[in-house]
Amino acid sequence: MLTVPWSLDVPQIEVDGLQQVASLSDLMPAHVYNIRVLAVNDVGASNYSNILTVTTKEEVPEAPPRDVRVKMKDSETLLVSWKPPDKHLQHGEIMGYYIGYRLANSSEPFHYKTFEVIPGIELQNTLTNLQKFTEYTILVQAYNRVGAGPRSKEVVATTDEDAWTGIAFEINLASNFSSLGITYRPKYN
C-alpha cells in the first residue's frame, strides 16, 4: 500500500471541543480517503489518532465517452471506436459500454449492443448486418456497477454502396427488325 506523508495542505476540519461528530463534504465517489483526528487545547496538541481508511461509494459515470468515431467498413458494416470518460468523472470502474444505433433522422428508438471491457482490448466494436448505402446515427454510453452515465454526442455515418456483380441487359427488338433497343441497369449483390 502506498503511504503518502501528511502535510499542512491536506484539507482539515476544526470542530468545537464538546463536539464528537464531524461531517466531511465534497468527497469524490469511488475514492479512498485516510482520516485521522487530533485534539488541541491551551496546553498543546495531542498525538494523532490511528489512521482510518474509508472508500466512498461508486456513482454512475458523470461524463460520456470521448472522441467517438465511426468508419465505414463495407456496405453492411460500420466500425465504432471511442475513448473512456475522463478518469476523475468515471466514479467507479467502467465495466462496459452500450453502443446505440438507428437509421439517421428516425424517430425509432436506438438498438443497443453491449461491449464489455476486457483489459488490453481496444475500445471499438463493429455494427454488422446494416442496410446498404444507408445513413445511421450512433452514440456510446459508459456503465459501471451502479449504472449507465450520459450518452455521447451522436455521430452520423453511412454504409458503403454495394459492389456491382455485373450489368443486367434487356434487349428489345422492334417488330420491323430495323432497330435494336438495348437498356441496362446495375446488378447488385
Contacts of 96 (CB under 8 A, 6+ apart): 114, 115, 116, 117, 142, 143
Q: What is the pLDDT of residue 185?
A: 56
Residue 143 has pLDDT above 60, yes or no: yes
How sure is the predictor about 2, in pLDDT bands with cuts at 50, 70 and 90?
very low
What average pLDDT does the segment 113-142 reach? 97
Q: Assess contact for 105 and 136: CB atoms under 8 A.
A: no
Q: What is the pLDDT of residue 16?
A: 86
Residue % of the chain over a pLDDT of 90: 61
How sure is the predictor about 169, in pLDDT bands with cuts at 50, 70 and 90?
low
What average pLDDT does the segment 33-43 reach? 89
Could you tell me the domains of the chain? 66-158 (2.60.40.10)
Which DSSP string do the residues of the chain spell out, in sequence order? -------TTS------TT-------SPPTT-EEEE----B-SS-B-PPPPPEEEEPPP---SS--EEEEEEEEETTEEEEEEEPPPGGGS-S---EEEEEEEETT--SPPEEEEEE--TT--SEEEE-SPPTT-EEEEEEEEE-SS-EEEEPPPEEEEPPPPPEEEEEEEEEE-TTSS-EEEEEEEEE-
Q: Range with the lowest mean pLDDT among 74-83, 96-105, 107-116, 175-184?
A: 175-184
For residue 73, give the C-alpha cell.
Answer: 467498413
Side chain identity, residue 48:
Y
Q: What is the pLDDT of residue 65?
A: 98
